[in-house]
Amino acid sequence: HTGKLNGKVALITGASSGIGAATALALAQEGAAVALVARRQDRLEELAKTITAAGGKAEVIALDIADPAQAQEAAARTVSTLGGLDILVNNAGIMLLGPVAGADPSDFSRMLDINVLALMNLTHEALKTMTPQKSGHIVNISSVSGRGAGPTSAGYSATKWAVGGFSEGLRQEVRQSNVRVTVIEPGVVATELTDHITHTETKTSYEGRIATMTPLEAEDIAAAVVYAVTQPLRVNVNEILIRPLDQG
Ligand code: NDP
């Protein structure tokens, strides 16, 4: 690898599986020291072992970032243990699909807490380091559901639409501090995301739909993150939409 991120520190939320784990690995392969944030400590430790065995540097920070105090702690611990914060990848998220009328309303608040509020709180905390150092990059993982909506995605789409609005306002606020903002909008990626859907009928039909296609791999999205954060400073990659070829 080329080591384009040597000396940089990256915090990746949702690093215990799927897109977050692949992204942490890819950023570490480019030389970044990585803070691995999620709740499942065993998974994070396994990934940290893989990274350090390959000569990289990783710090496990097992926290629930739906709690604003723990989101703040995740960023603060990254700075204190790895010595800085240059790249924040707000990736942790849940997709609790289901029709609005038939939904368990706690699904709405769980999605808002992690997909939106945790992302906002971590960004707020990261800027305490990035603004004064006059450099940084915030990568927000949205979704095709941040650009379109359909039956059973109303609640989830609302959270990803929020990510788009937040990111656009943020981009305009922080660019003069050399802080860049990237939104990535994946289509269907093969991960554990669907496991948590509580509306049984929706879960079954969504899984059936995925079975008819070749979905993206988590590594495909990790490659997009690496692309965005390794461009020269003059380049602000604002938005990347990636669908599997099979997705209509
Ligand atoms: P996964 O379910 O594999 O990963 C989700 C990650 O989020 C896990 O590491 C999980 O860790 C973490 N997470 C969830 N809740 C919390 C919490 N309260 N505190 C800390 N971490 C938390 O799914 P993906 O990799 O697919 O999802 C990553 C992102 O990509 C999400 O934002 C999702 O919306 C987005 N996305 C995914 C698509 C797909 O088809 N897979 C398509 C478009 C967007 P833990 O449980 O250990 O806390």
pLDDT tens, 10-32? Answer: 999 999 999 999 999 999 999 99
Token duo for residue 140: 């927000």
- C-alpha–C-alpha distance, residues 122 and 128, integer Å: 10
The ligand 1 atom at the shortest distance from the C-alpha of residue 114 is 18
Residues 109-152 have pLDDT tens digits of 999 999 999 999 999 999 999 999 999 999 999 999 999 999 99
The pTM of this model reads 0.98
Which ligand 1 atom is nearest residue 44's CA? 47
Distance 201 CA to ligand 1 centre (A): 21
State the Cα–Cα distance between residues 78 and 80, nearest whole angstrom: 6
136: tokens are 């940084």
Active site residues: 156
Which residues are within 8 A (CB) of 41 and not within 5 positions of it... i.e. 6 or more apart?
Answer: 60, 62
Most informative mutation of 25, 61, 72, 94 for ligand 1 (most atoms within 8 A of CB):
94
Q: For a pLDDT cut of 90, what percent of the chain falls above it?
A: 99
- With beta carbons less than 8 A apart as the criterion, state whether 87 and 229 touch: yes
Q: What is the ipTM of this complex?
A: 0.99
Confidence band for 201, pLDDT divided at 50, 70 and 90? very high
The strand pairing partners of 59, in sequence order, are: 35
How far is the C-alpha of 25 from the C-alpha of 237, rounded, in Å? 21
Average pLDDT in the chain: 97
| Nearest alpha carbon to residue 242 among 138, 101, 127, 147 | 147
Domain coordinates in residue numbering, the chain = 9-241
Architecture of the CATH domain 9-241:
3-Layer(aba) Sandwich (3.40)
